[in-house]
A and B are shown apart, each in its own frame.
Chain A
């Protein structure tokens, strides 16, 4: 192909410029073509020599270029295996010995907590293993992609997420179905290994329990607007079984959410995203431990509806938009939750508390909280971050049960400082100190050292 097409292309290029060409131009072009001819003849000669040499040596490695299409064509059944990734996470934590941790003034979001030797996950001190996460993902066919994230614990495998997602709907539509972390808020879709601190903000613990992510068994529909400004809308419905909802035996979906995101650039160095979300769930006899007016333990069961509003904002900066060497990230979220329904106060263990005879009452609350955090990466390997958070137990109306149960009014607070080092994007070690005033009358100074390692095909993280 080489010489003929080259000459033809050169002629074509020359002819394109021909109308204005004078003799000098023509001479220059001729000289150029001669030059090209000469250089190509030289190269062809040298290539021929190389070829002859290679043939005489019969050495297949004489040509360093490995034709990639051939390499990629080596077929095996294993080539269709899903992308596998394993997250290793563990920590050392030093803090006060508190048997049952909670957030004063908020409905205890026990949800489900993993106990080991009678110590719940949030109270575990010393050295321990966090969740070990196994991620499997692959395109199912040209239309769908699937992903499962399994949380591995001693004697237990927990399905954190297991969903399939559309690839071919088009028009900005995206469909996701199965169990997935809801698109509400900013942090909710992120797994613990992607967090910038070693624990979730208090706000998420108060909203969704010890797991700090709201998972939905159901369906999510998203639409991205065809505008230069990022504008995304989403709607979800599902089983709504996790806190603040509860598992209910019925045909209709028990939870739903709506969210909207807007975002964009400011120059090349700044990016931002803001969001507004609403989550609605209902609960049937959502049970938790309370304290009665005499200091004895009582059981409370809430039946009613829960509405949560979330607002989030994230801003990232990197010089020239290149986050590799230095970057800065600010994020903040605010929530307001209203719950309305009935509260049943009980004495299940027969300790003789104020609800020895079960008492039903109205229940109405309006609570709020926020956090703000800033993380600065000042070299390719080091980052430092600061987080401050505050909740407000707000209005809590227990009806006639106010006479039986302690109704705390409190503003939980926490401040955390972290420094982390990463060897590569797959390994990280983090030191964090915190002053935790999430329980009334307790100022807990906490220190933790955590590692996060990811093995295998680790996919991209969201913004």
Chain B
């Protein structure tokens, strides 16, 4: 039987062979998670890297071509990709991955979101009506998303449902052990006041007990201005922050400027898988992030 499927796969072009699911992940963190769960049963394409701002991607031809062949689209959701993904999905001619179908999965929909705005008005910048979409930096959310993802993979590919469940269980076991390790290592971070470039670290802060006392962007999605940075610097007198955080894809100028003036360390966090050398997978991402933060305190 296995042989016959294999022969069939050889006959069909590799792209539409059913023995493997093609997964289109919009961002590296969920690409890494789905790979960890599905292993060699999946062919995972990740649409962006850690050095790309996932809000600001063009609906590129290569993305359309990949979405066309996907059996499952794993999106961050929460309007993070609103500037390109809806167009890519509609123009892909792929009915299976349209929102509302089993082939469309949103990570942010699986967890409780923080920062749901009370007022939705562009005067407040690029606000996300569904709350802050950067949910993956709380490792407890990664588990919730992983559980739902394993279930979804099982629905799409029932023959391998057991494999996905086992893949998730294995991942979850290692993840929980690692979480205990990170939480212990990050204990000194509890209550530490920090400045952030963009509100990318809300979930990380809520998990580790960091206290965000300001953002370098005057409004979400609006580049830091010198006036706003000076105001932040002045506020240092009253509410001194001890670290300035930015993601790998954000420019380092503003955080370096304020770090120099205030005499506090500017910390680049990988933000997602691939954002630093050590962040080659989800475990590395958190190992590296926690280490960079703790080192920054010294």
Contacts and interface: CB of A to CB of B under 8 A. Distances in A.
B58 A271 contact: yes
B148 to A, nearest CB: 12
A187 B56 CA distance: 21
Contacts of B102: none
A461 B59 contact: yes
B249 A72 contact: no
Contacts of B95: 167-170
Nearest to B180: A36
Task: Classify chain A: how many residues form its interface, as a range.
Answer: 35 or more
Interface in B71-101: 78, 82-87, 90-96, 98, 100-101
B58 A66 contact: no
Contacts of A118: none
B113 A68 contact: yes
B227 interface: no
A222 interface: yes
B144 to A, nearest CB: 11
A172 B176 CA distance: 41
B295 interface: no
B155 interface: no
B173 interface: yes
Contacts of A72: 130
Interface string B118-131: 00001001100011
Interface stretch (A227-235, A246-254, A398-406): A227-235
Nearest to B222: A424
A316 B62 CA distance: 13
Interface string A158-186: 00000001011111111000000000000
Interface stretch (B30-38, B46-54, B277-285): B46-54
B62 to A, nearest CB: 5
Contacts of B83: 425, 460
Task: Classify chain B: how many residues form its interface, as a range.
Answer: 35 or more
Contacts of B111: 68
Given A12-B169, A66-B112, A169-B95, A229 B174 contact: no
B82 A380 contact: no
Given A13-B173, A66-B116, A226 B13 contact: yes
Interface stretch (A204-212, A302-310, A320-328, A351-359): A320-328
Interface in A242-288: 261-265, 268, 271-273
Given A381-B223, A459-B86, A9 B62 contact: no
A67 interface: yes
A64 interface: yes
Contacts of A461: 58-59, 87
Contact of A460 (B51, B84, B98, B169): B84
B112 A12 contact: no
A426 interface: yes
Contacts of B108: 68
B251 interface: yes
B69 A463 contact: no
B197 interface: no
B132 to A, nearest CB: 10
B109 A69 contact: yes
A101 to B, nearest CB: 34
B176 A460 contact: no
Given A67-B112, A222-B93, A460-B83, A265 B60 contact: yes
B15 to A, nearest CB: 5
B53 A322 contact: yes
A170 B184 contact: no
Contacts of A32: 177, 180
A316 B131 CA distance: 32
A153 to B, nearest CB: 26
B122 A172 contact: no
B176 A271 contact: no
Contacts of B251: 325
Contacts of A232: 64
Contacts of A40: 180
A326 B112 CA distance: 35
Interface string A76-101: 00000000000000000000000000
A142 interface: yes
Given A10-B173, A172-B94, A381-B223, A263 B180 contact: no
A168 B98 contact: yes
A257 B195 CA distance: 55
A60 interface: no
A167 B173 contact: no
Contacts of A321: 48-49, 51-52, 57
Contact of A66 (B85, B114, B170, B206): B114
B88 to A, nearest CB: 8
B173 to A, nearest CB: 2
A460 B16 CA distance: 29
Interface in B1-60: 13, 15-16, 48-49, 51-53, 56-60
A229 B67 CA distance: 12
A17 B273 CA distance: 25
Contact of B68 (A10, A226, A271): A226
Nearest to A271: B60
Given A230-B65, A460-B84, A380 B223 contact: yes
Contacts of B65: 224-225, 227-231, 263-264
A6 B176 contact: yes
Contacts of A263: 60-62, 65
A441 interface: no
B140 to A, nearest CB: 10
A71 interface: yes
Contacts of B49: 268, 320-321
B221 A424 contact: yes
B61 A320 contact: no
9 contacts: A36-B176, A36-B177, A68-B111, A71-B131, A167-B98, A230-B65, A263-B62, A264-B65, A323-B56
Given A263-B65, A381-B223, 8 more contacts: A68-B116, A142-B98, A167-B95, A229-B65, A230-B62, A265-B62, A324-B56, A460-B84
- What are the 5 A-B residue pairs with the smallest beta carbon separation, nearest first? A13-B173, A263-B61, A230-B61, A170-B95, A172-B93
Interface of A: 6, 9-10, 12-14, 16, 32, 35-36, 39-40, 64-69, 71-72, 142, 145, 165, 167-174, 222-232, 261-265, 268, 271-273, 316, 320-325, 380-381, 423-426, 459-463
